[in-house]
Structure 1
C-alpha cells in the first residue's frame, strides 16, 4: 500500500464516526409507493411542521418497514421536500391544481403565512366560513334553502332535486308562451275577422302551473329573508334579485291574461315581448345548486376587468380608425360612409371581425385604413392586460417606511 492509499484510509477511518452519524440521521418516507430518503436534521429546521416534529409524524411510522408512510400527492411532496432542503423556498408544480396544493400544505402543517401568500397570488380562497342564524328553526330553514349540500345523503340530493324539478316545471309555461301563435295574435284576429279574442298565453293546466310556480318562488324568497342571519347575505346574492324579477314578470303576465278586451291586448303585446326576456331568467335558477354553472358565473365576474379593458381598446380604435376611414372615403361619390357614425360602424365591424357587408370602404386609402384597423387590437390588448396584472402585483408588494 503506497503512501497515498495509506493517507486515504487514515482519513476514512477518521471520518467513520461522522459517516455513521450521517447514516443514523437518515429517515425513509414512503409517499403513495414512492420512497424518499432525507436527513432528519434538515426536517428539524421547521419543528412546527408535520415532518419536522417527531411527535407529530410518529403516528405515520411503520415499524415493520422502518419508514414513514403517507398516502399523499407525490408531486406536491417533492415541493415540500424542496422547502426543507432550501429553507423557506416553496414552489407549486404547474401541473398541480391550486386547491390540491393548498390542501397538501395544510396537511404538512407548513407556515400559514406562506400558504396565505399563495392563496392571494392565485386568488382562490380556501376558507369558506358560512354564517348561520342563532335560532334553531331559522338555522334549519336557512341551511335547507342556502346550503342543502350540508345535509347527509339522501336528504341533500332530495332537497336539490326538488329545487331543480320545481325550476324546470316553472319553465314549461314560458316555453308555451313563445309558440308563434302568441306573437301572431293580430294576424290571427285579422284572418278570423273578429274584434275580440281571448289572450292565448296559457292553456288552463299551464295557467295553474304558472300560479303555483310564482307562489313557490315567492314563499322561498320570503323564507330566505326571514331566516337569513344577516341582511347583506340577501342583498349581495344575485339569485335573490333573479327570484324577484321572476315574481314580478310572472305576476304582470298573469294580470295580462285576464285582459280580454282587444284594445288592452294590443297595448299589452308591445310590452309583453320584453317581459318574456325577464321571464327567461328562471332558467338561471338552476345555477344556484349547480357547481359548474356557479363557477362559470364566477369566471365571468373575475374577467370583468379584462372585458372592460377590451371594450375601452375597441372604442379607442373605433373612434380613431372610424374617423380616418370617414375622412378618406367621404370624397368618393358612391361612398357608404355618409356620416362619421357610418365610419365608426365600419371600424367596429372590422375590429370585431363581424364584417356584415352593409358598410364597406370604396376608396383605396380607406380600404388600407380598414385593413390596418383589425391588426393592432389583439396584440395591444394582450400587452395591456399584462401591464395591468403587473401593476396589481406591484401594488401588493408596496411597503411604506417612516423616515428616520
Structure 2
C-alpha cells in the first residue's frame, strides 16, 4: 500500500473526502480536493458519487467493498503512478519500461486528456505511433503476398501474380530468378558502357571516327530490351499506376531506358537528313552520358543501398553542418592564401576563386600538388587549413554512422515484429476455425432443461 501525500490547504477534509482505490493489488489513498482539480476524470467522478448508487459505482470501477470503502480496478499499478501525477503537477511523464500506446489507453480509461502529456513524451509517443503504422504497412504487404486468391476476377489474380513475380523476389523461385537476371543485366550494361570507351576495342566508321564495337552494341541492345520489358511489365501489373509513376526508383529506371530510344530516333532522323548531322551527334553524346543512371537501378535490388539512402536522408542536418564548415573554411583559407602568396614572384594563386580549388583539395586532405604555397606564411596557412579540414570532416561522421546503425536495426526489428504479427493472426484464425468445427461437431442443445429431463 502507498498513500499519496496530503497537500497543505486551508480547510481540512472530512473522511468522506478520501477514497481508497486498489489498483492491481496496490492500495492507494487519495484525497477529494486533489482529484477535483480534474472534475471530468474517473477518480473525480468516483469521489463525488454516492456509495449507495451501485449502478454508477459499477460503471466507474470493477468492484467495490462497502465495508472497507475500497474501489477495485484491474489496471496496471505502474501506469497509475504516472496518472496520479497530473493531479499534483498538471503534467504526466511516461516512465521507462511502460509502452506508450498502452499508457494512452490507460489515460483514456482514467479520462485524462492527452494534452497533459509532457512534450518529450509526446514526441516519444508519435515515434511509437509511426513505428506501429510502419509495422501495419509491412503486415499489409505480407498479407497481400499470402492472399492472392482473394482477388475476385481472373485478370486481378493475374495482375497480382505478375506484380509478385516482378517486385517480390522472395515470393517464389521464378521471381528470384527474374531478380537475379535483372541484377546481372544492370552489371553487364555498366561493364559494356565502360569497356566500350577503350580505344583498342573500338572500330572506325565510314568517316574514320572511332565508335563502339558492334558486338558491344548488340549486348547493349539486348540489355535495353530486357530493361524495357521489365519496366512495362511492372507498370502493367502495378496496383497503383500514379504511385508507380511518381516513385523515385521508377523515375530512375525510366531515365535509364529513355536515352537509348532517343538516340535511335535521333540517329534515324540524322540519316534521313531531317536534322543536321553535327547537332545529332552532339545530342547523342549528351544522351549517352545518361546511361550512368543505370547504376542507380542497383538500389532497387539491394536493401543495403536503400538503408544507406534512408540513413543519409535522416542525416541531412549533419551533412548540412559539414558543408557549412567546409564552405566557411574554404572561403577563409583561400582568401588568406591569396593574400600571403602575393609577395612571391612565382605565385600560383592568381585570384581568390582560383584559390578555392587549392582550399578544397587541402581541407579534404587530397592534395594534388598542382597549386601549392611557396612562402612561409602560406605554408603555415596550408598546415592550419588541412588540420581544420580533418576536424571538420571528423565531427559529423559519428552521428551519420549512428543514424545508419539505428535505422538499420530499427528496420530489422520492424520486419521481425511484422512477421510475428502475421504469425499471431494465423494462429488466431486457426484457433477460430478449430473452434467453429468443434461447435459444428458438438452443437449445443437448444433447451438444456428439456434435454436433462
> What is the TM-score of this pair, normalised by structure 1?
0.55
Match of 1:252 among 251, 256, 262: 262
Residues 205 and 180 of structure 1, relative CA distance in 2, 3 Å threshold: closer
Q: CA RMSD in A?
A: 4.9
Residues 111 and 211 of structure 1, relative CA distance in 2, 3 Å threshold: same
Map 1:40-119; keep pairs closer than 5 Å: 88-90=94-96, 110-111=102-103, 117=124
Give the structure 1 partner of residue 235 of structure 2. 222
SS in 2 for 1:306: helix
Give the structure 2 partner of residue 340 of structure 1. 352
Match of 2:159 among 141, 144, 148: 141
Give the structure 2 partner of residue 320 of structure 1. 332
Residue 165 of structure 1 pairs with residue 181 of structure 2? yes
Q: Which runs of 5+ in 2 are unaligned?
A: 2-21, 27-75, 83-93, 106-120, 145-150, 400-453
Question: Does the 8 Å contact 2:318/2:396 carry over to 1?
Answer: no
CA displacement at 1:359 relative to structure 2 = 0.9
CA displacement at 1:202 relative to structure 2 = 3.9
CA displacement at 1:294 relative to structure 2 = 1.6
Give the structure 1 partner of residue 247 of structure 2. 237
Question: Does the 8 Å contact 2:363/2:385 carry over to 1?
Answer: yes
Residues 168 and 161 of structure 1, relative CA distance in 2, 3 Å threshold: same
CA displacement at 1:90 relative to structure 2 = 0.8
Give the structure 1 partner of residue 385 of structure 2. 373
Match of 2:313 among 301, 304, 320: 301
Give the structure 1 partner of residue 127 of structure 2. 120
Question: Does the 8 Å contact 2:23/2:77 carry over to 1?
Answer: no
Question: Does the 8 Å contact 2:334/2:352 carry over to 1?
Answer: yes
Q: Deviations over 1:50-90 (max 9, x none)?
A: xxxxxxxxxxxxxxxxxxxxxxxxxxxxxxx9967986421
CA displacement at 1:239 relative to structure 2 = 0.8
Q: Deviations over 1:312-352 (max 9, x none)?
A: 22111111121111111112112111111232222222211
CA displacement at 1:245 relative to structure 2 = 0.6
Q: Deviations over 1:21-68 (max 9, x none)?
A: xxxxxxxxxxxxxxxxxxxx88667xxxxxxxxxxxxxxxxxxxxxxx
Residue 292 of structure 1 pairs with residue 304 of structure 2? yes
Residues 124 and 306 of structure 1, relative CA distance in 2, 3 Å threshold: farther
CA displacement at 1:182 relative to structure 2 = 6.2
Which has the larger Rg? 2
Give the structure 2 partner of residue 100 of structure 1. none
CA displacement at 1:266 relative to structure 2 = 7.3
Q: Deviations over 1:254-290 (max 9, x none)?
A: 45776789x9887666555554443243343343243
Residues 337 and 149 of structure 1, relative CA distance in 2, 3 Å threshold: closer
Question: Does the 8 Å contact 2:358/2:371 carry over to 1?
Answer: yes
Give the structure 1 partner of residue 195 of structure 2. 179
Residues 361 and 124 of structure 1, relative CA distance in 2, 3 Å threshold: farther
Question: Does the 8 Å contact 2:168/2:175 carry over to 1?
Answer: no
Number of aligned pairs? 289
Q: Which runs of 5+ in 1 are unaligned?
A: 1-17, 19-40, 46-80, 93-104, 388-404
Residues 110 and 119 of structure 1, relative CA distance in 2, 3 Å threshold: same
CA displacement at 1:236 relative to structure 2 = 4.3
Residues 121 and 314 of structure 1, relative CA distance in 2, 3 Å threshold: farther
